[in-house]
Amino acid sequence: MTEEHIREIDEPAAANSKAEATEEKEDWKSFGWFLVKLVIVVLIFRTFFFTSFNIPSESMMPRLLVGDYLFSQKWSYGYSSASLPFGIDAGDGRIFGSQPDRGDIVIFKHPIDRSDYIKRVIGLPGDTVQMVDGVLHLNSAPVGMERIEDYVLPVTPNHQCRSQRFATTTEDGAPACAYPQFRETLPGGASYNIMDLGELPQDNTAPVVVPEGMLFLMGDNRDNSLDSRFPAEPGRGIGLVPQENLVAEASFMYWSTDGNAEWLLPWTWFSAARWGRIGDGI
């Protein structure tokens, strides 16, 4: 075979190899741009629209349970360094800020340690808030409080009975807890269920006047919530919360699990799901 024939054979092969390398490089470049655009979209989504939050404690029972995962809308109360990612400094106050309504469930930054908390808005600026024998008083008047049926919750890895006196069983004989439950109605009409487990020191408090720019927040599980009835301490009470600490308004549940799932057993991810709670509005 002549040298000319060898060159004729080699040149197409080299051209094909070069074309393949160029095509592979373009594929990686396209994939890289896709990732960049995806990151930008996620950042915009998390900055201005929704953020995710999971329930780590029982302070908001019966409405929210340990193992609930929420989407929370960020535009409800405006934007501040508390609600922007990476602690971006937005200056003093909030951009496009608006005041929450009594009864809203809000996610906020603890006034001292800046960790995320979730509670219900009870007192707005100018309100006087006081607990008297376990009954919430706003501006010297008791709010509506009606005894309703006990809240029955099965025993799971995510929940054990707070005391043996609440132990019971479900209709199929499974262990459960039955907690005293009340329907509370605030001025303005917001109505929701709370739990009161008995007489405790936080059932009676001194009257507190909420200053301008602050909020009085409480958990629905009144005897198991470190909230505005307690002074602000890292990892404990929250005291009065500045409105600029608001992160988002709880919106709806996208997942809920009772804690029985195991990472190495994928089928348990589904058997542990509390399907009846998924998609619920808050």
Q: What is the DSSP letter of 159?
A: B
Q: Which member of 74, 109, 119, 251 is catalytic? A: 119
Q: Using CA atoms, how far apart are residues 232 and 245, in angstroms rounded to an integer?
A: 13
- State yes or no: is 57 an active-site residue: no
Question: What value does the CA radius of gyration of the chain take, rounded to a whole number of Å?
Answer: 27
Q: Which member of 59, 72, 80, 228 is catalytic? A: 59
Q: Using CA atoms, how far apart are residues 266 and 270, in angstroms rounded to an integer?
A: 8
Residue 139: CB atoms within 10 A of its CB come to 14
- State yes or no: is 29 an active-site residue: no
Question: Would you state the structure tokens that stand for residue 78, as one six-digit string?
Answer: 């405006």
* DSSP E strand boundaries for 81-234: 105-109, 116-123, 128-132, 135-138, 141-142, 144-154, 167-169, 175-185, 191-195, 208-209, 214-218
Residue 8: CB atoms within 10 A of its CB come to 11
Residues assigned a catalytic role? 59, 119
